[in-house]
A and B are shown apart, each in its own frame.
Chain A
Amino acid sequence: MSQVTMTVNGKTATGDVEGRTLLVHFLRDELQLTGTHVGCDTSQCGACVVHVDGKAVKSCTMLAAEADGASVETIEAQAADDGTLNVVQQAFQDHHGLQCGFCTPGMVMSATALLKENPKPTEAEIRHYLEGNICRCTGYHNIVKSIMAASGQDVDSIAAEVAAQ
């Protein structure tokens, strides 16, 4: 066991971890930050994405020890203290970018990181960026739409959902 100290959602967090302990397990089991999900256990699905020093990282593919000294942000810190959702969160709610919700924290964290790098991504850029985030429910249409909307872009053109009669 060794001690790690990192800043998690703006607060200092210290804990004893095994060398093998993954960051996701440190967050979930030690800090009770269960919004970061374990979907596939093998760094494929992206349900566990968090930000480490501002970069989107799959927290099941990083050791807790590697995050020693780092600043980590999870889904729990994305809304304002008064509960106001950030622009990405609000867009996922408004544009139905979720169903079962299990992939949603990872999607929101990836999308937030994308918009930091590229404030007005094209649909193609969104798709490319989200290759590592799997959703089994939505078919992705509303996820892409949510991110377009969060970046202030018109989504009417990809919202052709009117009654046919």
Chain B
Amino acid sequence: MSIAHKPLPHKPLPHDAAALHVTGAARYVDDIPTPANTLHIAFGLSEIAAGTISVMDLSAVRAARGVVAVMTADDLPFANDVSPSVHDEPLLSDGSVHYIGQPLFAVIATSHLAARKAARLAKVRYEAVAPILTIEEALAAGSRFEEGPRIYTKGDATSAINTAAHVIDGTLDMGGQEHFYLEGQAALALPQEGGDMVVHSSTQHPTEIQHKVAEAIGAPMHAVRVEIRRMGGGFGGKESQGNALAVICAVAARATGRPCKMRYDRDDDMTITGKRHDFRITYRAGFDADGRISGIEFGQYTRCGWAQDLSLPVADRAMLHADNAYFIPNIRIESHRLRTNMQSATAYRGFGGPQGVFGIERVMDHGAHVIGLDPIEIRRRNYYAPAAAKAEQTTPYGQVVEDCILHEMTEALLKTSDYAARRDAVAKWNASHPTIKRGIGFSPVKFGISFTLTHLNQAGALVHVYQDGSVHLNHGGTEMGQGLFQKVAQVAAARFGLQMDAIKITATDTGKVPNTSATAASSGSDLNGMAVKIACDTIRGRISTHLAARHDCTPQEVTFVDGMVTAGRAAMPFAAAAKSAYEARISLSATGFYATPKLAWDRIKGQGRPFFYFAYGAAVTEVAIDTLTGENRILRADIVHDAGESLNPALDIGQIEGGYVQGAGWLTCEELVWDDKGALKTHAPSTYKIPAVSDRPDVFNVALWDAPNREETIYRSKAVGEPPFMLGISAFLALSDAVAACGDAYPALDAPATPERIWATIERLRDEG
């Protein structure tokens, strides 16, 4: 069936708020009308990367026009901590300074501008020490999180490599990535009677905001209610990085008795908040004569910044994706989580997975070059066996891969992308064009779905049916543009046999559904869709039992289709069924709760089943580079991606297109630069280049694989938020392929492959002959 004509719940409907977005009526936190006495907050920021504060003279700040109050750590009444993990992240400096941009004090003023201007008037003197900035410096100083490197092993990698027919080794540096959510971080705290607090926060994790605010105002969690209708993009950057704004707003609101609001100016946002972890990956790999991997040793080194934040699970996930799509009989992965005097690196779409995948894709690319195999062929020889083979192949962490569909997907993609002919055409072009070189690249993805912290794999929902048959829908997931709310509403409509306009989507609210997990790890629709289904089915069951007794049938025979409820010979509109149940004193409100099954994971041993299932995808990208300048362009991208039986093909394709472009951006034009003092020099879109409309591929073909998930997920769909991000790696590999046309050696290109880096790599290749 064409995806354009699928019925609910698999219908390709527009985003639920599309009409609000195109008319400017959709409200973000900064758009919420505020009471007239609302105050505005700005942080004063550290100007050195490491040391202690010797003198902080804030008299000029306090005297500035519009300033109502100034707060330092000493003014915080309760917890001074905004860490999502190990309480190592003070909201305001406790006297020590760990990075340039760290909040030292907060200014509370009558306007956003007044607060920001006053914050610049502080006179701060520091006792500076030498910052730890590079991987080498961190290793030399033993500056790391956890006691030492985390190591996962399977088999005997060293012996396998030493006896292999082909051995390669190398190092790959990859940069971090600024989230650049279009809506910057924002929060608004509204003090209530009796010390309660209502917080509007642009957050992927309202429960975490509630938790940190409660700690900071010395109240139980029941005294704090957090609400978020939508974010203007998140990408992981609003999983923990909104804590500071929400907490200072609540603390200041408690202190002043007035509503307090904060939004980071873009420059402050980029200076203060954490980004994707950059990685250095070292590798030594052995292949047999046919190009099958016999063993790999990986070293993964990541700069986590000054606080732990989510770095441990990020680095774990990089290890868990060091195999990507390939069966590796012998492997050793050594992961170093380094503490550096920079922004605290945080969650970003893929959560370490892309870094791990990029490492093994480099190994495959390098191996193909050395052995002389087609880069796709070497990959296919190493893929996990197809599901039907029942080969019981395990990942490096002992999970059996039961669902590999990459063989079929790759076959389909090779045809639709006309790969073989285009590869020949690229070779012909390069043989006759000395300046403009072309390249073609392929990369697959296998991405593990579930939070690796197993207890986070739970979700709740709250559904009300009113006596007029309209439905109020709420769950713990947050909307950041991915279309979660619409997909979950489609589930609710399908369960009740209703049209979409009968379902009211409502803001995420900690007062409605408690103890939620972040909307992260691509898990939003898997978890919340299931919880909503369970809640809807509870109400449906009650209505069915009620009508079955009246109309002489079994509850199982009652149907909910096309707005009608049929029981025995009686058929009535859903509203009439709801009214009938209401009048019979039957509850039309229910909660739903879902916990992902089959998970068992020991992160210290590196053994178990951390993932419910895997999502798959593959991409072919063709590029052209100018060898005189390194400038480059994506000419064409072809993607086939597995979203299971998609809940909404239109929204899922949107995730794939956007994920690919964001992934390609990470590895091409997006470059974070810190100077030797630890100052981030790329703190605005003028110096940090995210893909623009002209960077989109000239030809962009995206297809869904659209086969049901073998696991029992919501309507057999699959998670789609993060996996397609890794398809952008094919763009990097295409650039590397084009560079390879300039010499005989393997290019060993690092990322991001900016024009400068491409040019320098070409020069090196040519020098090497």
Contact = CB atoms under 8 A, between A and B. Distances in A.
Interface of A: 28, 32-42, 44-45, 47, 74-76, 78-79, 85, 88-90, 92-94, 96, 98-105, 108, 126-128, 130-131, 133-144, 158, 160-165
B399 interface: no
A39 B186 CA distance: 12
A134 B686 CA distance: 12
A contacts with B: majority SS: loop
A101 B230 contact: yes
Nearest to A103: B182
A98 B18 contact: yes
The 4 A-B pairs at the shortest CB distance, nearest first, are namely: A35-B24, A100-B481, A102-B232, A101-B21
A164 B24 contact: no
Given A39-B266, A85-B19, A100-B183, 6 more contacts: A89-B23, A98-B22, A101-B26, A105-B21, A127-B694, A162-B3
Contact of A93 (B19, B27, B267, B703): B19
Contact of B696 (A101, A134, A144, A160): A144
A34 B27 contact: yes
A42 B24 contact: no
Nearest to A89: B22
Contacts of B18: 92-93, 96, 98, 101
A104 B22 contact: yes
Contacts of A78: 22-23
21 contacts: A34-B24, A34-B31, A44-B685, A47-B182, A96-B14, A100-B230, A101-B17, A101-B18, A101-B481, A102-B183, A102-B232, A104-B21, A108-B22, A127-B693, A134-B685, A134-B692, A136-B658, A140-B661, A144-B696, A164-B703, A164-B706
Contacts of A163: 2-3, 703-706
A143 B693 contact: yes
Interface stretch (B380-388, B647-655, B712-720): B647-655
B743 to A, nearest CB: 32
Interface stretch (B206-214, B252-260, B409-417, B438-446): B409-417
Nearest to A146: B22
Nearest to B416: A164
A139 B482 CA distance: 13
Contacts of B22: 75, 78-79, 85, 88-90, 92-93, 98, 104-105, 108
Contact of B700 (A28, A76, A96, A141): A141
Contacts of B14: 93-94, 96
Q: Which of A75, A94, A164, A165 has the most chain B CB within a 10 Å cutoff?
A: A164
Contacts of B701: 160-161
Nearest to B415: A164
Interface residues of B, number: 72
A37 B183 contact: yes
A130 B694 CA distance: 8
B30 interface: yes
Contacts of B409: 164
B722 to A, nearest CB: 14
B412 A96 contact: no
A136 B349 CA distance: 12
B603 interface: no
Interface string B503-529: 000000000000000000000000000
Contacts of B412: 164-165
A66 B686 CA distance: 24
B657 interface: yes
A18 B737 CA distance: 56
B233 interface: yes
A90 B692 CA distance: 23
B710 to A, nearest CB: 15
B265 interface: yes
Contacts of A131: 692-694
A163 B396 CA distance: 32
A96 B654 contact: yes
B717 to A, nearest CB: 14
A129 B557 CA distance: 58
Nearest to A44: B685
